[in-house]
Chains A and B, each alone.
Chain A
Amino acid sequence: MSADGGIPAALPAAAAPPGDPALDTLDRLAAERATGALHGRGGALYLADGVVVHAESHAVPDVGCRLTVGGRLPAECWEEAVARGGPGHGAGRFLVEHGRLTAGELELCHLSALFDAAYFVLCPLDRTQRGPQRFLREARHWFGPVRPVPVPLLRRETARRARLLERAWPRPEVDTSPVVPVAGRAARETAARGRGAVLAAADGQRTPLQIACTLGRSAFTTLLDVRRLAAAGLVRTPERGAPAAPAPPRPGTAAAPDITLLYRIRDALEAL
């Protein structure tokens, strides 16, 4: 595919303003064919020989959440892959080698999680936060490489996603507020499958990203659905001055083993 091609003139250069230091850093690391992890407040991008092999963000359901919440894998299967495949940086490969997933399923699920996390790493929801800047050389992710993504493709896709959100409903405040269904109207919604699930999970307390984690669903897709529902007048942000609801625990991530955190700490220490 033409993944290595330059950025076509028809597309905006990037989601972030031109000269975004994080994107400059990413381009430089790609040109250097660098290996390591580019960390920011929103999460991290992992590179191997200058291509992106993994991305993680606390805002986004990870591969384990996606596979277990929908019932594709029992939690024990996922934990086994992390525990046995993780030390050799090959948890993903373990799932295929042991017949838990087909290679196609692994690639689809991993790419979906990678592009999803990368969006929130490069475009943090909190606009005051900067993009990722800190690069830990030689850091590798325990999931292991699956299907590497060239940096120019990732940048184009991130820009396209920002544009889609803007076009759906240009009010970013719905991204971070609890999603409140509009009484009376929401019940009549005949939204397409995914959007209907998002609407059903909107309880006036969960934010779009908490809904994504509850459903084991792409955070970007959920955000896009919430913006479209807001544009259609089916959901709104809470009344101004209303007491803030306590944030519910993030379901779906509760089962994630602490071992993933340990791997992250180890990877970071090794990179020092």
Chain B
Amino acid sequence: MTGIDGCLADAMTVPGARGASLVDWTSGLALGAVGTWPDGDPEGAAAEAAELARTAFENFAPAAPAAPAPAGAPVEELVVTARDSYHLIRFVETSFDSSVFVHLWLDRTEANLAMALFRLRDVTARLVPA
């Protein structure tokens, strides 16, 4: 299984994973979501994560550069450490126009943050090779 469903299934094999989704952050649309989500509402979770992602993407982008900007997105990942869980957001870079990220929600007692970040990079690289 490849594509979006395969990517999300891969993400769910990360130890501690509760839910995984692929979200368009321009509008907050969940293009795919698996696992469990707060209030059983993957679309609501996607919309809220998109707000966060958009804020980070737009505010942490480099100021209008005099020289050409280095290749790549200005922000790669966001990590939110909640009391009992982690939210990992990894932007997916494509060489055509898109604005998507993978959102992985993890149980904090079961997850290893460093390993989860490493695995998430791998998962997104399989969706869209660098």
**CB 8 Å contact bits of B41-76 with A (1 = contact, 0 = none):** 111000000000000011001011000010000100
Q: In the complex, are the beta carbons of B100 and A193 less than 8 A apart? A: no
Stretch at the interface among B21-29, B81-89, B114-122: B21-29
Give chain B residues whose Cβ lies under 8 Å from the Cβ of A77. Answer: none
Q: In the complex, are the beta carbons of A192 and B29 less than 8 A apart? A: no
Residues of B90-116 at the interface with A, using a CB-CB cut-off of 8 Å, are 92, 94-100
Instruction: Specify which of B41, B43, B127 is in contact with A102 (CB 8 Å cutoff).
Output: B127
A115 to B3, CA, bound (A): 18
Whether a CB of chain B sits under 8 angstroms from the CB of A59 is no
Q: In the complex, are the beta carbons of A115 and B29 less than 8 A apart? A: yes
Give chain A residues whose Cβ lies under 8 Å from the Cβ of B24. Answer: 112, 115
Whether a CB of chain A sits under 8 angstroms from the CB of B38 is no
Whether a CB of chain B sits under 8 angstroms from the CB of A104 is yes
Whether a CB of chain A sits under 8 angstroms from the CB of B14 is no
A107 to B100, CA, bound (A): 12
Give chain B residues whose Cβ lies under 8 Å from the Cβ of A194. Answer: 99
**CB 8 Å contact bits of A168-212 with B (1 = contact, 0 = none):** 000000000000000000000111111010000000000000000
Which secondary structure characterizes the binding site on chain A?
A: helix
Q: What total count of A-B pairs have CB within 8 Å?
A: 102
**Chain B residue at minimal CB-CB distance from A228:** B58
**Chain A residue at minimal CB-CB distance from B92:** A108
Q: In the complex, are the beta carbons of B98 and A109 less than 8 A apart? A: yes
A20 to B1, CA, bound (A): 39
Known contacts A67-B96, A104-B126, A192-B57, A1 near B7 by CB under 8 Å: no
Stretch at the interface among A30-38, A156-164, A253-261: A156-164
Give chain A residues whose Cβ lies under 8 Å from the Cβ of B98. Answer: 108-109, 112
Q: In the complex, are the beta carbons of A102 and B2 less than 8 A apart? A: yes
Shortest Cβ gap from B57 to chain A (Å): 6
Give chain A residues whose Cβ lies under 8 Å from the Cβ of B100. Answer: 108
Whether a CB of chain A sits under 8 angstroms from the CB of B12 is no
Q: In the complex, are the beta carbons of B95 and A104 less than 8 A apart? A: no
Interface centre among A61, A104, A192 (most CB of B within 10 A): A104
Q: In the complex, are the beta carbons of A196 and B64 less than 8 A apart? A: yes
Known contacts A104-B7, A104-B127, A218-B97, A111 near B27 by CB under 8 Å: no
Q: In the complex, are the beta carbons of A1 and B95 less than 8 A apart? A: no
Whether a CB of chain A sits under 8 angstroms from the CB of B11 is no
A223 to B101, CA, bound (A): 21
Q: In the complex, are the beta carbons of B27 and A147 less than 8 A apart? A: no
Give chain B residues whose Cβ lies under 8 Å from the Cβ of A102. Answer: 2-3, 127-129
A147 to B31, CA, bound (A): 10
Q: In the complex, are the beta carbons of B41 and A2 less than 8 A apart? A: yes
Q: In the complex, are the beta carbons of A72 and B74 less than 8 A apart? A: no
Give chain A residues whose Cβ lies under 8 Å from the Cβ of B78. Answer: none
Q: In the complex, are the beta carbons of A72 and B29 less than 8 A apart? A: no
Whether a CB of chain B sits under 8 angstroms from the CB of A221 is yes
Q: In the complex, are the beta carbons of B96 and A70 less than 8 A apart? A: yes
**Chain A residue at minimal CB-CB distance from B7:** A104
A-B contact pairs, 18 of them (CB 8 A): A1-B21, A1-B30, A1-B34, A2-B33, A2-B41, A2-B43, A67-B96, A102-B2, A102-B128, A102-B129, A108-B94, A108-B100, A109-B96, A115-B29, A156-B43, A157-B29, A160-B27, A164-B27
Contact surface of A with B, Cβ cutoff 8 Å: 1-2, 8, 61, 66-67, 70-72, 102-109, 111-112, 115, 147, 156-157, 160-161, 164, 189-194, 196, 215-218, 220-221, 224
14 extra interface residue pairs, beta carbon distance < 8 Å, beyond A103-B2, A105-B96: A1-B34, A2-B43, A70-B96, A102-B2, A107-B3, A107-B4, A107-B31, A108-B98, A109-B94, A156-B43, A190-B63, A192-B57, A192-B61, A220-B26
